[in-house]
Structure 1
Amino acid sequence: MTSPVPDPPLDFQAFYQHYHRAYLNYAYLQLGERTTAIETVESVFVQLLETWPEVLTQPSVQRYAYSVLRRAIANHLVLRHGSTALVETATFAKVRVAVRRQLEVLESSLGLYAAIARLPERQMDVVVMRFVLGYSVTTVAETMGVSTGTVRSHIHAARRRLAHELGVQYSKETEAEEIA
């Protein structure tokens, strides 16, 4: 007879409750399939639970956990020999939800999301969480385990890079309004 599985520690349960939805939304944007995203995120949380005492010794639990999530997503993408599904999933999610502004032309949004997908990893993550998923700077920072200043710095660099790539005027005034 096997003994019952004990409940996860309370701090793990709190961590799970706080970050599960953000991880799931992010994984879905990257993987493009809900079932795959759910399986990936659940496997990340199982891995974190199995090593929870060691996870708690990390300088930043959030940063460590986020790196486990990124690694799981990257491994899944390598196994399916594919690239991120961001272009497709973010475009249609953005149109459906209309989080920031109404997109004038689907064609131009495809170009924007394709350009976002080409950003360096951390810049892309910040832009996706902040502007596609609509999370606050504080939530993005907590989710990634970095400071709000780091998030703002990534947003600034990403906006400049996107403006250059898309051939649009870069405006620090507009950026200041949207980052907050």
Structure 2
Amino acid sequence: MTENEERTGWMAPAPGVRESQRIPVAFWGFHDRFKRAYRKYAELHLGDERLAGRVVHTVFLNLLRGWPRLMEEASPAASAWAHLKEAVDDVLIAQGRDSAMAETAVFHRVARAVLEDARDEFAAMESSVGLYPAIARLPGRQFDVMVLHYVLGCTTAKTAAIMGITEATVRSHRLHARNRIGRELGLAPEPEHPED
């Protein structure tokens, strides 16, 4: 990066790209920070790694096109997260199907259990069959917190950053979601433990 690029916050276009197509350095930071989580979230819902990659790529292109406007938002991360969720929902609606989250999450849990050799894969699948559909029935933000934190393994801080909310809000949504799931599955509510 040149001194001028550092000062202006914009990177020069790649060779063969017109001068008007400069990409803000801040965009690349945002992209690097959230791309992996966005892709894992999309793949969880779409059940297709390649399709998830295309959807996330399109989302980031749209974010880049509206970058100045996005940076004026009160919470750019929350706006970008909403855009990702809308894009995933649009694909599911266009394909006339529901989210593959329950099946995909069960697969990931079983694979993790087998790889870690921590528990029998059938026991892992059996316990997941009731849990993941219960997660899928949660209200929007509680659902996102549970998927990001428990299914995709994001920390409280990372979940807050991705969703554009505070860590306290993440903990609150997590506690309410766990209590709701516990009631639905007939389990005693547990107090919130600081996991990270």
TM-score, normalization by structure 2: 0.84
Select 2:184's aligned residue among 153, 165, 178. Answer: 165
Establish whether residue 4 from structure 1 lines up as the match of residue 17 from structure 2.
yes
Q: What one-letter code is carried by the residue in structure 2 that aligns with 1:21?
A: R
Establish whether residue 80 from structure 1 lines up as the match of residue 99 from structure 2.
no
1:56-84, Cα deviation, whole Å (9 max, x unpaired) = 10011101100100110111111111111
- Count of matched residue positions in the alignment of Structure 1 and Structure 2: 175
Task: Tell me if structure 1 keeps the 8 A contact 2:63–2:80.
Answer: yes
Q: Secondary structure of 2:102's partner?
A: helix
Select 2:193's aligned residue among 152, 171, 176. Answer: 176
Task: Tell me if structure 1 keeps the 8 A contact 2:134–2:184.
Answer: yes
Q: What one-letter code is carried by the residue in structure 2 that aligns with 1:131?
A: Y
Q: What one-letter code is carried by the residue in structure 2 that aligns with 1:63?
A: A
* 5+ long unaligned stretches in structure 2: 1-15
Q: CA RMSD in A?
A: 1.9
Q: Give the share of equivalent positions with the same residue, in percent.
A: 38
Task: Tell me if structure 1 keeps the 8 A contact 2:109–2:125.
Answer: no
Establish whether residue 125 from structure 1 lines up as the match of residue 144 from structure 2.
yes
Q: CA 1:177–1:152 in 2, change beyond 3 Å: closer, same or farther? A: closer
Give 1:106 shift.
1.5
Structure with larger Rg = 2
1:143-179, Cα deviation, whole Å (9 max, x unpaired) = 000000110111011001000000111121xx3144x
Q: What one-letter code is carried by the residue in structure 2 that aligns with 1:123?
A: Q
Q: Secondary structure of 1:123's partner?
A: helix
User: What is the correspondence of 1:1-180 to structure 2 with a 5 Å cutoff?
Assistant: 4-5=17-18, 6-98=21-113, 102=119, 104-172=123-191, 175-178=192-195, 180=196
TM-score, normalization by structure 1: 0.91
